[in-house]
Amino acid sequence: MKPEKDSILSIGLVLAYYKLSSKLSFNYPMKKVFDTMRSFKNKREIIETFRRFLNNPGVPQVFKDMTRSLLLKRFDPFSDEKCFELTAIYVPLDGRLPKSTLEKPELEIERLTLQTHEESYIYGFRLLNHYYVKTEEKVAPAFMFSQILIIVVLFIGFRNFGDIAISLLSLFLAVLWTMGIVGFLRWELDLMSSMVPILTFGLGIDFSFHVLLNFKENLKDLTVKAAMKRTLRETGTALFLAMITTAVGFLSNAVSSISSMKHFGFIAAISIFFTFVLNLTFVPAMRILMKNPKKVTQKSFKTPKE
């Protein structure tokens, strides 16, 4: 896909057209424009031409402002010549094209630009997404390492493979439900959103520890059902407050003007809520069934022992 001849915008192009405008014509072949761009002898000539361009009352102010946007804002072209050491070049592309189609020219622009000047910075929406995906691939080993570390921590805390399985299953369900909501809302996963599963696992571990360890402590004096009731009564309020404060903290990203920040805040809050719900419903139910798989009778649900 080749850009239209007038689609690329740069300081050199603007000044070349301005220099040619003295002949009262703007319909020049691109070869003539490029030759004019190369005709500037040094930086001093470029700066003087730019100053005349800004001082010319015949040039619409909108064109002047547009050209100023190609310079670094922290430099004044009338007092600091460094403003021309770093400038921007805009290459508009047709946003109506498929995303996969737009990614190819942006990668090609990056390749050609870096061949010319290695210290250049290239930005494009699809280019940014391309490197999001590349970074996510690097995050995958970190995610696997976190799983191994979580299993080790759970084993040290529980000393019981059944409790470890219940805790991990609840975490996977929380992530699965969260990704289901993301898919339903048709949000794209980017670098920030891909960190939510690791966040969920870290927070879910704490919730599971509180529920299961408290249950084991209460089980010394109470029946299975009574011990779980007391556990939920004692830890439920604390987990609820922790869930609310943490979710609200992440939801504060909703005020951001960056869509990826907004999505990250919402996805993290949803994941935290699901983690809370599962640890107060699924985890207790599975723990009771595991404790008495064949004796879940009315006798097991009598009032607590005094």
Block means of pLDDT (10 residues each) for the chain, 306 residues, are 59 83 68 82 82 85 82 61 68 71 78 77 73 70 76 77 85 90 81 78 82 83 82 86 90 81 88 91 83 47 44
d(CA 215, CA 280): 12
Domain boundaries along the sequence of the chain: 11-92, 95-123, 134-301
* Amino acid sitting at position 298: Q
Q: How many other C-beta atoms can be found within 10 angstroms of the C-beta atom of residue 282?
A: 15
Tell me how far apart the 2 most distant CA atoms of the chain are, in Å.
103
Alpha helix ranges (H) inside the chain = 11-20, 30-38, 43-55, 61-68, 99-116, 125-158, 161-185, 196-218, 224-251, 259-280, 282-291
Instruction: Dig out the tokens for 288 from the structure.
Output: 């009771």
d(CA 130, CA 301): 56
Q: Nearest to residue 196, comparing CAs of 276, 278, 267, 143?
A: 267
Q: Nearest to residue 244, comparing CAs of 203, 185, 215, 209?
A: 203
CATH topology of domain 134-301: Multidrug efflux transporter AcrB transmembrane fold (1.20.1640)
* Amino acid sitting at position 276: F
**DSSP-assigned letter for residue 303:** P
* Chain centroid, CA 246 distance in Å: 18
d(CA 208, CA 26): 71
The predicted pLDDT at position 279 comes to: 87
What is the phi/psi pair of residue 91, to 5°? -125, 90
Q: How many other C-beta atoms can be found within 10 angstroms of the C-beta atom of residue 214?
A: 18
Q: How far is CA 303 from CA 9, 177, 290, in A?
A: 79, 35, 20
3-state secondary structure of 87: strand
The predicted pLDDT at position 67 comes to: 83
